[in-house]
A and B are shown apart, each in its own frame.
Chain A
Amino acid sequence: MCPALRSFRAFALAPAILAPALAFGESLPEPVSGEISAETSFHAVLNPVYDDANGRSNELAHSLGLYRFQTSFSYGLSSSFALGIVGTYAANRYCCLNGIALSDSGFTGGGLFFDWSSGALAGRPNLVRLGYQTQRGPDNAVLPVSDGQDRLFLRSDWSILAWRRDQARLGMRLDLDYGPPFEIQKGYFRASAELAPQVPVVRSQGWDFDIVGTAGYLIATDARENGTIYHNRNSKQARVGAELDLGLGRHRRDQIILEAKHDFAARNALNGWRIGLTYRRRIGMGQ
């Protein structure tokens, strides 16, 4: 055996960087002048299958789990604008054969973003986030959590329809990602649109609780998740699910979002259950 290969396993388990989003259509916080919004989120896809370009499902021989932790802080420059930073940690794990798991984990990169809020409908503002996130170069050749491709990203969360005395609303979330070409890697483009009807269940002085249904569709120039490029041809999939949105305190000072979604009609993409938990807190508001 060539000497360099003797350490291949150790090399395969070495930490690496970067993690494109496991989720799309995530809700955004509203800028509040002079306040900080802190957010931490966890998203995962558990034991997915891979559906090829013709929709044929390929069950993986072992259990694949992809995990992403993301933390961001934004500061409200005004009631319409906020400036923020984001950092991402990711882990991939494929387990187990002969007691061996292929895994990779590490900080994948960080970025800056700019939030803009314009008007409101049904008590929810229209929000746009524009940002840039760097990605560390991959140093794991098996299941890297980093693809090394920096990104421009756009997130938007708009209310396009309101009803029930302006309480319920239909939201539209649009996401765009673009990673310019580098080295031999072609440019990466990802776009998704998600409809999110939001229905209030509880509105009270101290807390409110909403249920949000989601139905979205994603297209991308290749099949990649959490840094690993599974296949380099065009990819697409639908995703349907629900979010439980709990707001606590005055003006939803604390917010917890629990989500569960499932992929459908995947073509050259992973297909499975996706879960997410987001905690958001405003610091300085009303204090």
Chain B
Amino acid sequence: MHGAFAIPPAKIAALMVLGISLYRTSSAVTALIRGPYLQRPGDTAIAILWKTSSSNLGSVAYRPIPRAGQPRRDSGPSSRAQTAVTSLEPWKIAGETLAQDSHRIALHDLAPGVLYEYQVLADGEALSPTFRFRSPRCPADPTLAFGVIGDTTGGTVPAAIADKLSGAGVDLVLHVGDVVYPDGRLEDYDSNFFGPFAPLLSAAPMMPILGDHDIRTADGAPFFEVFDLPPNGLTPDPRFYSFRQGDAEFFCLDVESSEFGEDSDQYRWLDHGLQTSTAVWKFVTLFEPPFTSENSNVVERLVLSPLFERYGVDLVFSGHEHLYERTKPIRLFGPPGTPVVYIVEGGGGASVSNFDQESFSAFLAAVYGYVTVRIEERSLLLEAHDVSGAVIDSMTLFKPIGSNATGETCSAAAPPGDVRRPCAPL
């Protein structure tokens, strides 16, 4: 019987060739059907997620880009020869241990605030071109840039916003809800969100919150299937969460599918988080705006605004209404407490809203667009852009060192169309 297992060397060679060709065939048909896209599961980690057409062992090759160095865009990590001739650091590989078609790999021990390039691989073969991201900034880093988008749907608007924002050099993007219209179905995420926003999602972590459309399918289950968000320690799904980036802390709330009243876990979590935050800048995202010239959520205004004022939240970002609006600094319950500026950015593609501008509104434009925020030391510059990238409104906040008080100046660029009543500069 021993002889039955004796295989001639020629046959072994033939089987090896066959095996390799089968492997290559399998690898060749593997295609990216989503991503790669970045997430922020923690304060110091970046997660890279993607989905492939078939099961495979996924991995990510990544390395920092020297400030003066420009990597060759065609020098993928799967080509060791090419890697060897560059002056860049060698590729690091982070890989999975089980073959699958939905991939998630967290990159740890990244140098803070550094530009990295990366490429995703399937069974060791290049699956994507190389992309870049900036690693999370350390708490002492006084520099930060982020974008804000909301109510993303339809036509060419999301792709135009993605194009502009991906070239804006932002560290991360906040999505203020209604990620996928009409009902937040899993099958619509690729066509309505991951497709149009691909250039942006591969370059900067998108930190979304739930909108009313997002919870229409299984209370938002598809949202948590595709996004990898920081845990809050209270709920199985991170329906509300916070994260730190540089000298800013972000509190991302859920007012659509979670209680937020004074007796709720979310309220206590927010109260504690804001109270103990050591960040110079504090930002909140919540879907429905407490203050807007279309339909304000007065319950949020009564319950949450006192916390925002008490703990010195600088900006509150919302969506829901399909327009851009900036309020004057509002302080209902003080002093003490600091005035809060409320921003609505819901111009992500849904048909723009009507409005009747309220007296608390500093600037309003029913246009498609996005917001960028740039922080340098104790200065914050907020700019609202239309889809062409033109600045339609801007605001600067200053924080004197040693003070929690925020000084503010307001300015507005020449308003297009239906912009009314810009806030005059001081």
Contact = CB atoms under 8 A, between A and B. Distances in A.
Interface string A213-235: 00000000000000011111000
Interface in B276-312: 291, 294-299, 301-303, 306-307
Nearest to A102: B332
A100 to B, nearest CB: 5
Interface in A26-70: 49-50, 52, 54, 56-62, 64
Contacts of A98: 333-337
Contacts of B350: none
A1 B408 contact: yes
Interface in B322-369: 328-337, 339, 354-356, 358-360, 362
B358 A58 contact: no
Given A58-B299, A59-B263, A100-B333, A5 B306 contact: no
B325 to A, nearest CB: 13
Contacts of B334: 98, 100
Contacts of B329: 1-2, 5
B332 A12 contact: yes
Interface in A2-37: 2-5, 8-9, 11-12
Nearest to A143: B298
Interface of B: 257-264, 267, 291, 294-299, 301-303, 306-307, 328-337, 339, 354-356, 358-360, 362, 408, 410, 423-424, 426
Contacts of A50: 261, 299
A142 interface: yes
Contacts of A141: 291, 358-360
Contacts of A54: 257
- Most chain A CB within a 10 A radius of its CB, from B296, B302, B306: B302
A2 B410 contact: yes
Contact of B295 (A12, A49, A52, A232): A232
B260 A58 contact: yes
Interface in A193-250: 228-232
Contacts of B328: 1-2, 4-5, 8
A183 B298 contact: no
Contacts of B298: 142-143, 228-231
A215 B196 CA distance: 52
A12 B257 CA distance: 30
A94 interface: yes
Contact of B299 (A3, A62, A97, A231): A231
B261 A58 contact: yes
Interface residues of A, number: 36
B131 to A, nearest CB: 39
29 contacts: A1-B329, A1-B339, A1-B426, A2-B424, A3-B424, A4-B359, A5-B329, A5-B339, A5-B360, A8-B332, A9-B331, A49-B261, A58-B261, A58-B262, A59-B261, A59-B264, A60-B302, A60-B303, A61-B302, A62-B302, A97-B333, A98-B335, A100-B334, A102-B332, A141-B358, A141-B360, A142-B298, A183-B356, A231-B297
A60 B299 contact: yes
A212 B209 CA distance: 48
Nearest to B410: A2
A59 B356 contact: no
A31 to B, nearest CB: 39
The 3 tightest CB contacts between A and B, nearest first, are: A58-B261, A59-B261, A5-B328
A3 B260 contact: no
Contacts of B263: 57, 59
Contacts of A97: 306, 333
Interface string A135-162: 0000001110000000000000000000
Nearest to A4: B328
A11 B330 CA distance: 12
A8 B423 CA distance: 15
B339 A230 contact: no
A8 B330 contact: yes
A121 B267 CA distance: 53
A100 B259 CA distance: 25
